[in-house]
Structure 1
Amino acid sequence: MSAGFYRAFEDRYRGARAIIKDRLRAYLPFIAPLATLQQPPAALDLGCGRGEWLELLGEQGFHARGVDLDEGMLAACRERGLDVELGDAIACLRALPDRSLALVSAFHLVEHIPFELLQALVAEAQRVLLPGGLLIMETPNPENLVVGASSFYLDPTHLRPLPPQLLAFVTEFGGFGRHKVVRLQEEAGLRGDAPVGLINVLDGVSPDYAVVAQKDAGGAVLAPFEAAFGAGYGLALAQLAQRFEQRLEGRHDALRAALAQLEQHTIDSKLRLAGAESGLEGVTRLSQRNDARNEELARAIAALDGRLHAADQAFHQALQQAQQTAQQALQAMQQAEQARQEAAQQRAHAEQHIAALLASSSWRITGPWRLVGGWVRDARAAARPRAKALLLRMARAALRRPRVKRLLKPWLARVPGLQPRLQAMLYHAAVQASQAMPPEPPAPLGDMSPRALRIYHDLQSALKTRKH
């Protein structure tokens, strides 16, 4: 192969460095826990090519170096200051001590070497890796029918494609504790439940895959890698083929349903045609009945027009009456507003008159007399209950003393109206007292003296007479 050919070939068909580096980030969940095995974790990339993977490992804190047989590829690595050397991959591995690396990687290398060298590579990688260390081998995926039948042979240095099951078994046979097939670079639109066509079955399977193998170690060492090894990756041929078959089956179901619907529609059309032929005479009779109904409808419309005309006239009359009523109401409102304005003027005139009266000299001069008169009325109102109470006490005391009673009789005779007023006052006071106090049980008449009995009967008679 001429000098520089393979680098130019990679630049044309491998893809730009930025694209390849972005694709390689899919392995970050696997390599991130390697920092728990070694610090910094040491890595060797076999067939390092242009160095995209070495550059990404350096960004992740790895001490990484690469080896390749193509000087043009190594020149691209040295341009970026990467640690690379010219040499054979198997020989480089054999020169390393046991358990010295955390990671061995080989991207698109195993399809270039004979199967015996592949087994030797796996065996040497298992020897140099630390417990829990990883071996990553990426290669074209022959499950993708276009890759396996066409694009794989675009590279003249390819020997033969390796199915995922074979490469995975090589790592298992080589002594690795576990492995994971990671399918890569499929179209994002095919993920999920998107419809799948025949072309997708042919070239939609992940075009590349990798086998990530891990050297056996204790549970504590392997635990940080569980999430990466437990996830699912990419699209397999069986998945797309099954989805395509399901889509075909769905189409077949739809076609069968459409065919059944078409057959039923044909039967219904025949039945309708037979009914139409047998019912032609009925259609004629129906047409005649429709003509009669149309005449009736025309008469009804004419009658309705007459009613609408009468209703329109009645509406205009009612509208005129409403307008007259509104004009009368407006006149009444104007009159009420005029009366209100006149009342307001009268009120303002009265307020002015009152203000003039309050500001006059006579109002100010008679102010002290009005004040004194108010005091006198208040004093009379306050003294009246006291005088009444005093008069009641005097009347009660006179009634209990016969001599005082005889002395007062001539004097009361001189004031004719005083005695009835005193009697009324005593009666009302007695009634109020009897209502305010709970009634006492009557004393036995047998315990009274003759004089007391006579007084008791006199009082009873007087009370009855007063009540009547």
Structure 2
Amino acid sequence: MHNKNEVRLYRAFEDKHRGSRELITSRLQVYIPWILPLLDVYSERQVMDLGCGRGEWLELLKKNGFQAVGVDLDRGMLEACVERGLTVFEKDALTALRELSDESQLIVSGFHIAEHLPFDVLSDLVCEAVRVLKPGGLLILETPNPENIKVATANFYLDPTHQRPIPQQLLVFLAEYFGFSRVKILRLQESKEIHEKSSVALLDVIDGVSPDYSMIAQKKASYEVLNRFDGYFSQEYGITLESLTEKFEQRLAHIETKTQEASSFTREAVDWVIKAQINAERIENKLIDAELRMERAETSAKEAFLRAEKFEAQASEALLKIERAETRTLEAESRASYFEVRSKELENRMKQMEADVQNAWHHYSMVVNSHSWKTTYPLRLAGKAARWFVRGSIAWITFAPSSRPRRILRITLIALKRKIQSNYKLKALALRFLTRFPSLKERLKRVGDDQRYYSGVGTVHQSNHSIENLNSSARKIYKDLKASIEKNKE
């Protein structure tokens, strides 16, 4: 990359996709615990950083007391290192290693350089690192992790200078093949959230594995030296594809279990729904029966209501009848009281009439026994003769109505009879007179076939036509007597 345009282009690319100096420095802090024990073992503290780039690792080494030298072919990167007072050279990594003496370095490091090298150069670099490192010295090579599917299939090829992804097993094999005592793989730069996830999705399997890994290989040394690093070599770092796959499979198994449970629950739910449908049908049938019963009951209730209304109407009618009967009873009682009063009045009148008759008979006896009555005897004989004449005339009129004189006399008697009947006082006087002459009375009855009457001292029976001939007071007395007689009959 000696072309200036290419240098500027790659530096801009590194600045954009590699990350800021602060980010890279924070990521490199993970290596500090690994290298500090070397300061207690050796007084010489030389470190060679291959492909030093912008010098973030060189700065950390310098701060922690190491004498670090960096090499790179990118002059722009080297200028950034020089600006910060770092010791750097423009050299090829393999050449720089070959120039070093045996067992002269505590650390040989290369961050994101291995993927830029052909395999034979990478192989020679590992071999030279074993030579230049002191016993217990560390070879640190960081590179993109092809375990991360997204890195291996996409992100790795974003940098056009990359050769090919390097599997962890290949670097481990090279380190072990060329004589390193032990090798540790550090998986790096995964997200913090992935450690806290208990349920892993497919996207986490594709993109969740640590995007970078570092191989730390240690050269053979005494037990005392190696023992200082045992704790670090025994730890696990980062997220492996196997762990995420296992979590994903566990999730799938859990989902499958849940699915089976859901399926079982669904079957149970279906059975329950079927049973519920059957029960619902039964309930619906019962509801229909209940509705029918309700309709019947409602019909019966309506009929009962109609009957009740009829009964109520009948009861009302009965009450009205009772009220009317009570009213009639009261009226009848009132009339009975009235008739009782009238009867008493009539009784008093009858007593009065009897007294009058007795008084009249007394007077009659006095008259008959009087001197004047005896003196007028001849006159009474003449009267008897006149009466005989009248009775004979009436008989002649009654039984021989064909002659004109008899018709005239008959018509005259009928008119006289009607006149007497129309006058209550004349009628009463005529009845008193005719009572003494029964034969005359019987003959006068036969005068006029359209009028028939019966008279007596006690009771009078008349037709409707004869009642009309009575005066108002007589008609009232007749009606009251008739109503009283009817009531007594009831």
SS at match of 1:191: helix
Aligned to 2:107: 103
User: CA offset at residue 192 of structure 1?
Assistant: 4.2
Q: Is the 8 A contact 2:198 2:247 kept in 1?
A: no
| 1:18-70 deviation per Cα after TM superposition (whole angstroms, max 9, x unaligned) | 00000000111211111122225211101101000000111111111101111
Aligned to 1:209: 213
Q: Does 1:147 align with 2:151?
A: yes
Q: Does 1:9 align with 2:33?
A: no
Larger Rg: 2
Q: Cα 1:31–1:259, aligned 2, differ >3 Å: closer, same or farther?
A: same
User: CA offset at residue 92 of structure 1?
Assistant: 1.3
Q: 1:89 aligns with which of 93, 97, 101?
A: 93
Q: 1:128 aligns with which of 120, 132, 136?
A: 132
- Residues 206-285 of structure 1: pairs in structure 2 closer than 5 A: 206-278=210-282
Aligned to 2:165: 161
Q: Cα 1:264–1:58, aligned 2, differ >3 Å: closer, same or farther?
A: same
User: CA offset at residue 272 of structure 1?
Assistant: 3.3
Aligned to 1:417: none
Q: Cα 1:172–1:273, aligned 2, differ >3 Å: closer, same or farther?
A: same
Amino acid at match of 1:257: E
User: CA offset at residue 96 of structure 1?
Assistant: 1.3
Q: Is the 8 A contact 1:93 1:125 kept in 2?
A: yes
Q: Cα 1:279–1:115, aligned 2, differ >3 Å: closer, same or farther?
A: closer
Mapped to 2, the partners of 1:125 and 1:101 lie a distance apart of 9
Q: Cα 1:282–1:6, aligned 2, differ >3 Å: closer, same or farther?
A: closer
Mapped to 1, the partners of 2:147 and 2:25 lie a distance apart of 24
- Residues 168-207 of structure 1: pairs in structure 2 closer than 5 A: 168-207=172-211
Amino acid at match of 2:35: I
| 1:115-174 deviation per Cα after TM superposition (whole angstroms, max 9, x unaligned) | 111111111111111110000000111111111111111111111110011111110001
SS at match of 2:138: strand
Amino acid at match of 1:174: F
User: CA offset at residue 273 of structure 1?
Assistant: 3.1
Mapped to 2, the partners of 1:234 and 1:276 lie a distance apart of 59
Q: Cα 1:280–1:69, aligned 2, differ >3 Å: closer, same or farther?
A: closer
Amino acid at match of 2:130: Q
Structure 1 residue runs of 5 or longer lacking an equivalent are: 292-468
Count how many residue pairs are aligned between Structure 1 and Structure 2: 289
- Residues 394-433 of structure 1: pairs in structure 2 closer than 5 A: none
User: CA offset at residue 269 of structure 1?
Assistant: 2.6
Mapped to 1, the partners of 2:89 and 2:279 lie a distance apart of 93
Stretches (4+) displaced over 3 A: 275-288
Mapped to 2, the partners of 1:178 and 1:279 lie a distance apart of 79
Amino acid at match of 1:231: Q
Q: Cα 1:50–1:276, aligned 2, differ >3 Å: closer, same or farther?
A: closer
- Residues 349-428 of structure 1: pairs in structure 2 closer than 5 A: none
Amino acid at match of 1:217: A
SS at match of 2:185: strand
Structure 2 residue runs of 5 or longer lacking an equivalent are: 298-490
Q: Is the 8 A contact 1:6 1:72 kept in 2?
A: no
Aligned to 1:407: none
Mapped to 2, the partners of 1:277 and 1:66 lie a distance apart of 87
Q: Does 1:119 align with 2:123?
A: yes
Q: Cα 1:116–1:271, aligned 2, differ >3 Å: closer, same or farther?
A: same
User: CA offset at residue 232 of structure 1?
Assistant: 0.4
Mapped to 2, the partners of 1:273 and 1:84 lie a distance apart of 85
SS at match of 1:134: strand
SS at match of 2:179: coil
Amino acid at match of 2:32: L
- What is the TM-score when the length of structure 2 is the normalising length? 0.57
Mapped to 2, the partners of 1:117 and 1:144 lie a distance apart of 25
Once the two structures are overlaid, the 10-residue window that deviates more, 191-200 or 219-228, is 191-200
User: CA offset at residue 274 of structure 1?
Assistant: 2.6
